[in-house]
A and B are shown apart, each in its own frame.
Chain A
Amino acid sequence: MPTRLPRHVVPAAIVAAALASVALPASAADKVKIGFVSTLSGPSSALGIDIRDGFLLAVKLNGGKLGGLPAEVLVSDDQFKPDVAKQLFEKNVKRDKVDFMTGVVFSNIMFAALPEAIDNKVIYISPNAAPSSIAGKDCNPLFFAVSWPNDAYHEAAGQFANTRDLKSVYLVAPNYQAGKDSLAGFKRTFKGQIVGENYTKLGQLDYAAELAEIRAAKPQAVYIFLPGGMGINFIKQYVGAGLGKDTTLLLPGFSADQDVINPVGAAMAGLFNTAHWSPDFSNAANQKFVAEFEKEYKRVPTLYASQGYDAAQLIAAAVRDTKGKLEDQAAVLKALRAARFDSVRGPFKFNTNQYPIQNYYVRTIGNDGKGGLVNKSFNEPILKNHGDAYVQSCPMK
């Protein structure tokens, strides 16, 4: 027969529990909780996986902490579906009560899920997607892009095409916000003629019809924005169709990083691409990042991984500078805007719309000395201290 507790213990226990549960929230946060939602499955999963691995590496190198507080990172997979991302954001914000949301790769998925964070006053740190609308009229004090404005790589590529005296270019991008931003960015700086502009379906993998069109248009160069699996398939089929011989293929870093180089292989050698970061940058933060990433994950980091790492570092800087008082959101936002951390890309600063102002470089794909291919950057940036074309429309000053 179970022994019964003395009569006064049970009510006392209940009161004690009630007091304890009331007492807890009053102190400063004892850990920083981050919701990480990204594309971790499907043909473009390499992007989300790299951002996640870069982010978690930063946490690990700081002993499981960010800015002095133990970090709890809740990772989940949006499966490249906007509605799934929205649900995951809602869960992280409402049930898990995270301090920051981050992780999304694709602009369309981010648009669907972002309101769940912003409307509930949770800060979103974008390690990738950074659409033109949020750089301009829809800018938001709770939104920070730690990567680049969507147009930037493409503006750099357009400028590079000018320096190469290219007169006619055919453009391809997927038909979604980032795709439109990309070709708008290229056209902003490119001074030659656009002989074709083709928006394909997001997620499309068979480009036979589009490649035939390109061949008929006979451009000097082809510029594509096709991230992830889309780019891998396009480049393979481009080579398969024999287009590589007469037409230069110009790429943004998104379609020319390690996640594309590995599956496509030798055909990538010698191709030029533009990016804000390259694995061979010589600053101390980057050398440490690349060495630790290769040691931990046995592969060369992509620009996506560098963005994930920097996102974690940015959060760490904010936690450190507010001494862990995350409830004071105004102080957190001020610390985030100051962005006092050593970015792997070199000097980092935010524009008034909380998008980066930074340099963009031309990279070329060359031998890594071990039988593989890797990106190598040119020292002189193609665009220096470059912001974006939308900051004037942003009310934040």
Chain B
Amino acid sequence: MLILEQALNGLQFGLMLFLLAAGLTLVFGVMDMINLAHGSLYMVGAFVAAWLVALTGSFAIGVVGAVALTFVFGMALEIGVLRTLYARDHLSQVLATFALILILNDGTKMIFGNDLPLSAPAALAGPVELLPGLQYPAYRLLILAVGLALAALLWLLVQKTRMGALVRAGASNRTMATAMGTDIGRLFTVVFGIGAALCAVAGALLGPLLAVQVGMGENILILAFVVIVIGGIGSIRGALVGAILVGAVDTLGRTLLQHVLREFLPPQWASAAGPAIASIAVYVFMAIVLAIRPQGLFPARGG
């Protein structure tokens, strides 16, 4: 039962990480742009959701509204600011998007304040009996459901639609895709918007579990980059596998690994060592992938 519950926890964390990583990998893969401000879009989504929920009293409206507004905001950001960065080298992109993080952090602080409260809807505040003896919080089940649904939706979008084909072509070989006549400009705008919308879903859903505060995007951003390196730049499938792997390792470190460590370490050391080892394991795994298979586990790039 414990293993099952922890597996669900790891899956839930992994799926939310996937939502961030998917947008990031698309932007990096299709537009060849490193966007450090991706975590800030996650923060913006969470703040707008918290603000809307307080305004309307409805969690659903808050989440949906936040996604829509962040989608528009993402596109506006792309057209207004980021377009100029495509032609430039990665270092310039890093510097510019880092500046964007600082601007968005302070902008959010000025508009909304340092933090906003966000609670899960009261209907989902209790547990659900999945199996006799296994009770799981209803709200986390919602996150799992939304995460899986979006993963399926993205797969459909990328594999079965024309736009998805264009995205895959652009990720695989951008020069060729442009030469074949795709309207790259509009594609990029929409891809960026979708990435922003996915961030907003993660931000709004995780808000009640974590805290909606300025700077919340930075920590999760680093993990998202690790995920896309492991999974392969530009590959949605890689992002999913990488995210679930990272989620599983993180949860293992916080729980099962600690059981082992407690056998021969005092509890304070075991409690600190478990997550630390899990964190190291994630980065070691990334290093191994970079060494053996630098294009990632499921590379999108063609020749």
- CB within 8 Å of B: which residues of A? 41-43, 45, 175, 180, 197-201, 205-206, 208-210, 212-213, 215-216, 229, 233, 236-237, 239-242, 263
B112 CB → nearest A CB, Å: 12
Q: How far is the CB of B258 from chain A (nearest CB, A)?
A: 8
B138 beta carbon closer than 8 Å to chain A:
yes
Nearest chain A residue, comparing its CB with the CB of B114: A41
Contact flag A263-B115 (CB < 8 Å), given A241-B137, A242-B127:
no
Q: Could you say which of A197, A205, A208 contacts B9, with CB atoms under 8 Å apart? A: A208
| Residue in A209, A241, A242 whose beta carbon sits within 8 Å of that of B6 in the complex | A209
The chain A residue with its CB closest to the CB of B127 is: A242
Question: Is B271 touching A180 in the complex (CB atoms < 8 A)?
Answer: no
Instruction: List chain A residues, Cβ under 8 A from B211.
Output: 42-43, 205, 229, 233
Interface residues of B in 53-71 (CB under 8 A from A): none
Nearest neighbor of B122 in chain A, beta-carbon distance: A265
- Which 6 A/B pairs are nearest by Cβ-Cβ distance? A242-B127, A199-B271, A240-B137, A242-B135, A216-B2, A197-B267
Rounded to whole angstroms, the CA-CA distance of A242 and B125 in the bound complex is 9
- For the complex, is B5 an interface residue (Cβ under 8 Å from A)? yes
Q: B192 at interface (Cβ–Cβ under 8 A)?
A: no
A241 B209 Cβ-Cβ under 8 A: no
Consensus secondary structure, chain A interface: helix
A43: which of B208, B213, B268 is its contact (CB, 8 Å)? B213
B173 within 8 A of A: no
Partner of A212, one of B6, B119, B213: B6
Residue among A43, A233, A263 making CB contact with B209, cutoff 8 Å: A233
Contacts of B1 in A (CB 8 A): 215-216
Q: Bound state CA distance, A109 and B125, in angstroms?
A: 34
Q: A199–B2 contact, CB under 8 A?
A: no
Residues of B within 8 A of A (CB-CB), count: 37
Residue from B9, B139, B211 whose CB has the most chain A CB atoms within 10 Å = B211
- Look across to chain B and name the residue whose beta carbon is closest to the beta carbon of A79: B114
Known: A212-B9, A237-B209. A199 touches B119 (CB 8 A): no
Q: Which residues of B contact A42 (CB under 8 A)?
A: 114-115, 211, 213
* Residue in chain B with minimal CB distance to A216: B2
Q: Is B104 at the interface (CB under 8 A from chain A)?
A: no
> Contact at B125–A236, with CB atoms within 8 Å?
yes
| Alpha-carbon distance A201/B258, docked complex (angstroms) | 14
**How distant is B145 from chain A, measured CB to nearest CB, in Å?**
16
- When the two chains form their complex, are residues A240 and B126 in contact, meaning their CB atoms are under 8 A apart? yes
Which residue of chain B lies nearest to A205 when distances are taken between CB atoms in the complex?
B210
Contacts of B267 in A (CB 8 A): 197-199
Question: In whole angstroms, what is the CA distance A210 to B117 when docked?
Answer: 23
The distance in angstroms between the C-alpha atoms of A43 and B213, with both chains bound, is: 8
Of the candidates B13, B268, B275, the one whose C-beta lies within 8 Å of that of A201 is B275
Are A175 and B271 neighbours in the complex by a CB distance under 8 Å? yes
With a CB–CB cut-off of 8 A, which chain A residues contact B126?
Answer: 239-240, 242
Asked if A241 contacts B210 (CB within 8 A), the reply is: no
Which residue of A has the minimal Cβ distance to B140?
A: A208
Q: Which single member of B115, B124, B137, B272 contacts A199 (CB below 8 Å)?
A: B272
